[in-house]
Amino acid sequence: MSCVDTGRSVQFQDPKRLKALFTRLDVNKDGKICSSDIMRVLEELHGANKPHMSGIAESFLMRCGGSSSGYVTFPEFVDYVLEHDKRLITAFDVLDQSKSGRLTADDIRETFKQFGMPVTADEAERLLKRVDQAGNLNIDYGEWREFLLFHPAEDVAKILEYWRHDSVSLHML
């Protein structure tokens, strides 16, 4: 079991959860994740084939190390998820203005403002609800991580742009 210290708590990546997620993404059950597997999962989650989904699938494969082979193996997937998790923790900590371990609409408004992308109170609430699976009007780290599984999470500004303008996610991690 691997762990990442967030400064406030420790997030564990349970190998069983990682295997279950990999299995869920491996739609054709060949032991590898390919672009068509990801496309099928995205279509299932969003009910339609949005034009940009193939780009998301290809980008995900590339970030996982599967661009030359056209597929991702379980070890490549685990490496990606663990490395991706570190970047998401950093971004979450930037957004968590109140340092409560949960993102609120106020945290969202303040962070977007700091990055030169002000949002209204209504838009902040809409963004929050897009990620908030529990319906408690805040976002914990697990919800955040699930929302951004397919996003490259290069930096906070790009995550904010993605969040504001696109909402392809995979609520399953």
Q: What range defines the domain where residue 48 resides?
A: 10-165
Residue 25 counted as domain residue: yes
Point out the least confidently predicted range of 5-9, 42-46, 64-68, 160-164.
Answer: 5-9
pLDDT at 57: 80
Q: Which residues, including other chains, have CB under 8 Å from residue 128's CB and lie 6 or more apart?
A: 103, 104, 105, 108, 137, 138, 139
Q: What is the DSSP string of 28-71?
A: T-SSSEEHHHHHHHHHHHHSS--TTHHHHHHHHHHHHT-TTTSE
Beta carbons of 66 and 33 less than 8 angstroms apart: yes
Q: Which residue has the tokens 């597997």?
A: 37
Residue 127 counted as domain residue: yes
Average pLDDT over residues 117-143: 92
pLDDT at 46: 57
Residue 4 counted as domain residue: no
pTM of the model: 0.74
Based on the structure, what is the number of domains in the chain?
A: 1
pLDDT at 75: 92
Residue 23 counted as domain residue: yes
Chain mean pLDDT for the chain? 81
Q: What is the DSSP letter of 116?
A: T
Q: In angstroms, rounded to a whole number, what is the distance separating the alpha carbons of residues 108 and 122?
A: 11
Output the CA–CA distances (angstroms, integers) from residue 79 to 13, 55, 114, 157, 162, in the order listed. 11, 21, 32, 24, 23
pLDDT band at 116 (very low <50, low <70, confident <90, very high): very high
* Longest distance between any two alpha carbons in the chain, whole Å: 46
Residue 170 counted as domain residue: no
Residue 173 counted as domain residue: no
pLDDT band at 47 (very low <50, low <70, confident <90, very high): low
Beta carbons of 161 and 49 less than 8 angstroms apart: no
Q: Across-strand partners of 11?
A: 4
pLDDT at 40: 84
The pLDDT tens digits for 4-42 are 444 433 344 678 888 988 998 899 999 999 988 888 887
Point out the least confidently predicted range of 29-38, 91-100, 150-159.
Answer: 150-159
Q: In which region does residue 75 sit, left (phi positive, over 0), alpha (psi from -120 to 50) or beta (all else)? A: alpha
Beta carbons of 142 and 74 less than 8 angstroms apart: no
Average pLDDT over residues 59-76: 84
Closest among 22, 16, 1, 173 to 88, alpha carbons compared: 173
pLDDT at 111: 96
Task: Return the CATH number at 70.
Answer: 1.10.238.10
Point out the least confidently predicted range of 18-27, 87-96, 105-114, 154-163.
Answer: 154-163
Residue 95 counted as domain residue: yes
